[in-house]
């Protein structure tokens, strides 16, 4: 795995951590159901990208 791929995975993991915290807060407040759905979609997309990068590096 090259440095660029490792850095991208690291950035995605940091983003996932922030998104999961926001999702947790959004679920507790439930003011906007669309926000919860949007955050879940963003998390799924970021996780898929991490997996894709890992598979490409193998």
pLDDT tens, position by position, 35-55: 999 999 999 999 999 999 999
H helices of the chain, in order, are 3-29, 33-57
pLDDT at position 8 is 96
Judge if pTM exceeds 0.85: yes
- pLDDT tier at 56, thresholds 50, 70, 90: confident
State the first-to-last Cα distance of the chain, in angstroms, to the nearest integer: 7
The rounded Cα 52 to chain-centroid distance in angstroms is 13
What are the extents of the domains in the chain? Answer: 3-57
* Model pLDDT for residues 6-32, shown as the tens digit of each residue: 999 999 999 999 999 999 999 999 888
pLDDT at position 57 is 75
């Amino acid at each position: 795995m090259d440095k660029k791929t490792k850095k991208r995975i690291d950035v995605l993991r940091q983003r996932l951590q922030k998104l999961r915290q926001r999702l947790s807060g959004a679920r507790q407040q439930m003011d906007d159901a669309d926000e919860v759905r949007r955050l879940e979609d963003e998390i799924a997309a970021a996780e898929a990208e991490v997996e894709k990068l890992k598979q490409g590096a193998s």
